[in-house]
Amino acid sequence: MKIISIANQKGGCGKTTTAINLSAALAQKGKKTLLIDLDPQAHASMGLGAVKTDPANSIFAIFLSEKEGSRKIVDLTKKIEIGLELVPSHIILSTIEHELKDREEGLMVLLRAVNAIEQKYDYIIIDCPPSLGFLTFNALRAANEIIIPLETSIFSLMGVGKLISMVELIKIKLHHAPHVSGLVTMYDEYSDFAEKMLHKIEQVFNEKLLKTRISYDIALKRSQESMESIFKYDPHSRAAHDHLSLCNEIVSRDKDETPENIFMEMRKIMNGIYGNMYTKEKIFKFYAPLAKNVYVAGDFNGWKMDDSSKLKKNDGGEWKRSFFLLPGRYRYKFVVDKLWFWDPENPKKEPNQYGGFDSIFTI
């Protein structure tokens, strides 16, 4: 059973449209598919005709059952067409974060719910809200693949860095590394600007960008108005062809990547986005020709000492490493063969809670 979350904190990038029509395409291919609408706005539900849903029969009931009751996903599904079922959403879902956000088990609610389904479906597609809060975290934790829709604008790219950071946090804290892919949506092949932005997206995602491009097609908006998938509204449209191509690519592509390789690719994506969009490079240097190991530890990397914070030594005995960091004020120290030193080249220091000093810099 493959679980795919469709996520991007930016609205208007084709996230819900992708969730609806990818689900419908999978069903067209004979794959038993469940679409879970995890967005309190319930656009995916409305887009498939589930306009009036009782909260007790929506995905809200799964989260509510953490407090009372014991509803299961299979109790909440609505049949949309052959091979496609929907768990609808409701605006009341927006209140659940206040109830569960401080409970550690609250971040695992959706994971436990989909694990209880016991292989009834070939694919589960989760439509995330356009935010990076409690509900999106639940969706990312439950997924073994994440698709990030990207319309060809700078704002769509800028939101990706924080999403990738959340995925990296899940890997570090929960030892779970879902596969991450980018998907170009609403693409206008006749626009020079769209072509320019496509090149930027390709630079950031490299081989992690899906080959399929979802072209701009007014038929998609009309299908939304009709509250049905593009395959029911106009199966011969360009949009139907694009979403079927996306489905074929997802079903057929190689799935043999290890979690560690996926994690390293996420870091490449994150560094690409941050290096190009958000941050400035900070270079750390420390002269210690006889040292065996030199690390830089600070509040920008959680004061950790591992391969990601280890400096590299050149022939002149100087150790060096660069980081891309967001604007802010940071504390740090060098750790040379397990001994802590402030930066001798930086006169800015402040006392720390241990009676010593930390070096300070500002970006």
CATH classification of the domain holding 332: 2.60.40.10
Any idea which of 169-183, 239-253, 291-305 has the lowest mean pLDDT?
A: 169-183
Alpha carbon distance 76, 63 (integer Å): 12
Instruction: Tell whether 251 and 284 lie within a shared domain.
Output: no
**What's the pLDDT score for residue 307?**
87
pLDDT average, residue stretch 103-123:
81
Does pLDDT of 273 surpass 70?
Answer: no
Round the average pLDDT of the chain to a whole number and report it. 85
Does pLDDT of 177 surpass 80?
Answer: no
**What's the pLDDT score for residue 119?**
67
Instruction: Tell whether 317 and 243 lie within a shared domain.
Output: no
**What's the pLDDT score for residue 132?**
81
Instruction: Tell whether 175 and 297 lie within a shared domain.
Output: no
How is residue 29 annotated by DSSP? Answer: T
Number of Cα atoms under 13 Å in the Cβ half of residue 331: 12
Instruction: Tell whether 267 and 283 lie within a shared domain.
Output: no
pLDDT average, residue stretch 306-328:
88
Handedness of CA 116, 149, 19, 162 (dihedral sign): positive
**What's the pLDDT score for residue 264?**
57
Confidence of residue 72 (pLDDT cuts 50, 70, 90): confident
Does pLDDT of 271 surpass 70?
Answer: no
In the chain, the amino acid numbered 169 is L
Alpha carbon distance 87, 126 (integer Å): 10
Alpha carbon distance 20, 214 (integer Å): 13
Instruction: Tell whether 139 and 270 lie within a shared domain.
Output: yes
360 versus 323: the higher-pLDDT residue is 360
Number of Cα atoms under 13 Å in the Cβ half of residue 121: 25
With H, G, I as helix, E, B as strand and everything else as coil, classify residue 295: strand
**What's the pLDDT score for residue 358?**
92
Asked if 298 contacts 330 with a C-beta cutoff of 8 angstroms, the reply is: yes
Residues 338-343: contacts with CB within 8 Å, 24+ apart?
A: 341/286, 343/284, 343/286
Instruction: Tell whether 130 and 164 lie within a shared domain.
Output: yes
In the chain, the amino acid numbered 225 is E
Q: How many domains does the chain have?
A: 2
CA dist list (Å): 17 to 6, 29, 126, 199: 10, 18, 12, 23
Does pLDDT of 126 surpass 50?
Answer: yes
Alpha carbon distance 17, 35 (integer Å): 12
Alpha carbon distance 45, 57 (integer Å): 12
**What's the pLDDT score for residue 262?**
53
Other C-beta atoms closer than 10 Å to the C-beta of 238 total: 16
**What's the pLDDT score for residue 245?**
94
Among candidate residues 227, 253, 276, the one where a domain is terminated: 276
Asked if 87 contacts 50 with a C-beta cutoff of 8 angstroms, the reply is: no
Which neighbouring-strand residues pair with 336?
294, 339
**What's the pLDDT score for residue 256?**
46
CA dist list (Å): 181 to 37, 134, 239, 338, 359: 20, 22, 20, 39, 38
What is the percentage of the chain residues whose pLDDT exceeds 90? 48
Quote the domain boundaries for residue 330: 279-362
Among candidate residues 256, 276, 296, the one where a domain is terminated: 276
Residue with tokens 């420390």: 286
Does pLDDT of 257 surpass 60?
Answer: no
The answer to whether the pTM exceeds 0.75 is no
Instruction: Tell whether 317 and 189 lie within a shared domain.
Output: no
Asked if 306 contacts 296 with a C-beta cutoff of 8 angstroms, the reply is: no
**What's the pLDDT score for residue 104?**
62
Residue with tokens 């986005």: 273
Alpha carbon distance 246, 215 (integer Å): 12
Instruction: Tell whether 153 and 203 lie within a shared domain.
Output: yes
What is the percentage of the chain residues whose pLDDT exceeds 70? 88
Does pLDDT of 263 surpass 90?
Answer: no
286 versus 95: the higher-pLDDT residue is 286
Q: Which two tokens stand for residue 203?
A: 């630079």
Asked if 18 contacts 130 with a C-beta cutoff of 8 angstroms, the reply is: no
With H, G, I as helix, E, B as strand and everything else as coil, classify residue 324: strand
**What's the pLDDT score for residue 19?**
96
Alpha carbon distance 174, 168 (integer Å): 10
Packed helices 218-225 and 15-28: angle between N→C axes, nearest 10 degrees: 80
Instruction: Tell whether 238 and 323 lie within a shared domain.
Output: no
Instruction: Tell whether 229 and 342 lie within a shared domain.
Output: no
Instruction: Tell whether 251 and 342 lie within a shared domain.
Output: no
Which neighbouring-strand residues pair with 146?
5, 180
